[in-house]
Chain A
Amino acid sequence: MNMPPILSIMIFLPLICAAMVALIRGEKGEEAIVEKNIKHLSLFGSLFILAFGLFMYQNFDPKASGFQFEEQYTWFQSAGISYHLGIDGISVFFILLSVFLTPICILASWNSVKTRIKEYMIAFLVLESFMIGTFAALDSILFYVFFEGVLIPMFLIIGIWGGKNRVYASYKFFLYTLLGSVLMLLALLMLYVQTGTTDIPTLIANPVGFEMQKWIWLAFFASFAVKMPMWPVHTWLPDAHVEAPTAGSVILAGVLLKMGGYGFLRFSVPMLPEASLYYAEFVMWFSVIAIIYTSLVALVQEDMKKLIAYSSVAHMGFVTLGIFSFTQQGLEGAVFQMISHGVISAALFLCVGVVYDRLHTREIGSYGGLVKNMPIYATFFMIFTLGSVGLPGTSGFVGEFLSLLGTFQVNTVVAAFATTGVVLGAAYMLVLYRRVIFGPQDNKDAAEMKDLTPMEKSIFIPLAILVFYLGVFPNVVLSRISPAVTEIVSIYEAVEATPEQASFGPENTNTEEEEGE
């Protein structure tokens, strides 16, 4: 069957939609109508793209390894850079996450964004296009174009529609990520000069020498670690989250952070296997520090958004642990954890947004006893809190469990330390929940807040369903991830086999695994 170029369509549809939004005009006095049209057009546009995403998912062959829906056109002829798109089991879910969260963001801003609504919607649609492009790109320069292009709409979203300290936060976000990314650009050029190609599958098939790999790995790490973010380069994240508007936080936590993890999976890990093994221990310890340290920091936060931002750093720590265990379970768990975190943290930021819209403060102490006047809200908040804690039956459990399992096989000590993060995670999330939802109703304004509106419910219901669905039927996702992960693992088995046969012999690996079990 001849498939339409569905990935290109998904990348360009949001841009066309944005252009249409830009063209909506009205006479003086018709501002309200214009605003309504803008909102509706963006919402329907993004839903349409979501439909395309589901169509893509339907046609995605879960068993096939390698890339699907490939498209390739020459782009920079003389430099050999091509417009190459394609997805595998890993990227398909990130694209789905992006197209799923964008309409939710638009709905979440329906009433809360009051100024410059047109620019706001355009920014989100452009952002959606770049996000899809990042996950679909199979050419390293094309990937970089999308990866970095994301900064433009996000900078404007934080800077224009953000909170009090938005200028500082937007600068910090932009410059921090830019600094990391430009180093990656040098590494990509270095790879290009070494191998003569920017095509990702070709780069994966032809790794460069070990000494070169080490340098390139570090440059990639600079970029992806900032984006993830990993401790100690996570400091931009709390600021960005706190100042961003609700929908900005949702997309930041839901998708943008995943670009870092995706980058590790697409670049560092398969392209630079020797270097990744060389640095794996280092990454694992950094992840453990991130998990424990940021969990402790989250425990003492007074700002709801900051607390969830720090919890994101901790959860991303599990992702890097899983990735750098190079085991089937660890890698699958890492991808699953990212998807699950994309849903749960997005939902949690929306939960904060709901009360923020009503009381205009994010201070935990200003709330309390909301269960009395907002029972439906309390229920939804509980679902997402438990998901974040990793209760079995929710999606959060599967990701954490699998990545810890993978880590345990490789490094028991690290896994043991990381597991304390699960406990700490339960601590800070439940403290947050208790202080906001239960307890005395000290603040009269908070006690008078109305429960969820139908629109808010319509946002939370699909998210809640996803949390349970992914928690109960994780195989839907895992079976599709598995072929792609198997390919990565097989690279590592090959790499680990070669040097060890020379020095220790194959028994050595077996004993290590037994010890691990």
Chain B
Amino acid sequence: MDDLNIMLILPEIFLALTGMGFLMLGVFQGNRSTDVICWSACVSFVIAAVLLMKGDWSTQYILNDMLVMDQFAGVMKLLILLGLIASLALSVQYLYQERIARFEYPVLVVFAGIGMMLMVSANNFLSLYMALELQSLALYVLAAFHRNSLRSGEAATKYFILGALSSGMLLFGISLIYGFVGSVDFTTVQNTLANLPLIPPGVVVGMVFVLVAMAFKISAVPFHMWTPDVYEGAPTCVTAFFAIVPKIAALGLLMRLLFGPFAPAADQWMQILYFMSIASLVVGSFAAIAQDNIKRLFAYSSIGNMGYAMIGIVAGTSQGVGAVLVFLFIYLAMTAGSFSIILFMRRNGLAVEKISDLSGFSKNNPILAYSMAVLMFSMSGIPPLAGFFGKLFIFQAAIESELYVLATLGILASVVAAYYYLRIIKVMFFDEAADPFDEGMNLGKRVVLLISMLLVFGFIFSPNTILDGAMIAATSLF
């Protein structure tokens, strides 16, 4: 029994049980119980977070090395849980407003959450695949959640087809690695590769396939094509979810792979990530300029942000990984805050999502408009707001690893990105007023926005807890 260490995945087990409980409740109570389930799911995420914090974060293997629990996994899971709580709290009111408040929504979020938490704990290509599919299947359904809407269906279909393709590539890559190394266990793969004088080409090809699949999940250019369409088509609350949580989980998994089994092949994967990072930065910042739909804009913004995160990974040091973790935390806070306002954008009972719809927001609703402005300034990386520090540490790590070209390109891309974030501020503050949005922002959105603002403003005052936590987590990966 010693090898099982099952208590270390107690939060996941707890969530799985509550998830099934919610499913039962929903089946018996029907859609009347949606809001109850939503809020109880939030509570169960909080309980899971508490269980996680109470647990042991020293490096230990679970279920005969299928999973691993370490500082890195602990921090990533905490981030994922935070993201889950935030995105679910944002969703409730929107679901009712759009008349899609079906009880499956929170249940699917819970299952996706379990998948993501297991992803960042994976220590075996098989458990990786299982966890990844658990979250992906839940996400495909979520994208189609507005089933009467053509666009939602289209988005889900696109997402599913491309997602299935990437899963296929992942499996193919894994089988190649298995064929050349003879194991699917991360530790064994790493040790075997480290002892070889030369990485076998088959393993390199396999690794490339695995990386392609991962790039699809984090929507890194050139595997980003689905992102704008899915973000635009999916119900906005699902878009918020997509923008926040799966990105974090997939990046966590990517880092675990790159600094775990693929660490001996660092020379090979660094080139790939180097390229993807530049491409994501360029596409993310330039393509966003032309968007007039705010959800599409955020799709490109998230592509660009993944570009920054990849700079930290390419740095290849624990400094870099720590910077990525801080960056993700701040990205989570800013994105959740921004979506609480995007979800608020409704006129005459209908959701509006053009950037121009925000015009005059500052007149009609100054507090929200200023919050949005602060978030946008933070996203474009202007100090003293938190977004600046997220980028600062990434660039610091990049320069320490002598990635001068990458750092320069990244920082120039941030100037281009500033342009489109400023456009949102411009529309809200400088343009003539349009009709006000519908009143009524529910408690969930208010709380998320408030916490996000506190983090964006407050990071500068007490950054040390977060930084130290990130550094410890990053070190455990090496």
Contact = CB atoms under 8 A, between A and B. Distances in A.
Interface residue tally of chain B, by bracket? 20 to 34
B468 interface: yes
Contacts of A77: 464, 467-468
Interface string B422-436: 100110011000000
Interface string B407-433: 110011011001100100110011000
B400 A193 contact: yes
B411 A185 contact: yes
A171 B463 CA distance: 31
Contacts of B425: 155, 159
B42 to A, nearest CB: 31
A182 B388 CA distance: 11
Given A79-B396, A185-B395, A189-B395, A148 B418 contact: no
Contacts of B399: 186, 189-190, 193
B468 A175 contact: no
Given A76-B464, A178-B415, A159 B426 contact: yes
A148 B382 contact: yes
B19 to A, nearest CB: 37
A175 B396 contact: no
Contacts of A186: 395, 399, 407-408, 411
B383 interface: yes
A141 interface: yes
A145 B467 contact: no
B426 to A, nearest CB: 6
Interface in A135-193: 141, 144-146, 148-149, 151-152, 155-156, 159-160, 166-167, 170-171, 174-175, 178-179, 182-183, 185-186, 189-190, 192-193
B404 to A, nearest CB: 8
Main secondary structure of the interface of B (DSSP, over half): helix
A171 B418 CA distance: 10
A192 B396 contact: yes
Contacts of A175: 415, 418-419, 422
B420 to A, nearest CB: 11
B439 to A, nearest CB: 17
Interface string B76-99: 000000000000000000000000
Judged by DSSP, the binding face of A is: helix
Nearest to A77: B464
B377 interface: yes
A167 B430 contact: yes
A145 B418 contact: no
B460 interface: yes
A183 B467 contact: no
Contact of A193 (B396, B460, B464): B396
A511 interface: no
A79 B393 contact: yes
B430 A160 contact: yes
B408 to A, nearest CB: 6
A182 B422 contact: no
Contact of A179 (B395, B415, B460): B415
Contacts of A78: 464, 467-468, 471
B396 A189 contact: yes
B384 interface: yes
B392 interface: yes
14 contacts: A75-B463, A76-B464, A78-B468, A145-B388, A149-B383, A155-B425, A159-B425, A171-B426, A175-B418, A178-B415, A185-B392, A186-B407, A189-B399, A193-B399
The 8 closest A-B pairs by CB, nearest first: A145-B383, A182-B411, A189-B399, A77-B464, A145-B384, A159-B430, A179-B415, A148-B383
Interface of B: 366, 373, 377, 382-384, 388, 392-393, 395-396, 399-400, 407-408, 411-412, 414-415, 418-419, 422, 425-426, 429-430, 460, 463-464, 467-468, 471
Interface of A: 75-79, 119, 141, 144-146, 148-149, 151-152, 155-156, 159-160, 166-167, 170-171, 174-175, 178-179, 182-183, 185-186, 189-190, 192-193
Given A77-B467, A149-B382, A189-B392, 19 more contacts: A78-B467, A78-B468, A78-B471, A145-B384, A145-B388, A148-B383, A149-B384, A159-B425, A159-B429, A167-B426, A167-B430, A170-B426, A171-B426, A179-B415, A182-B414, A186-B407, A189-B396, A190-B399, A193-B400
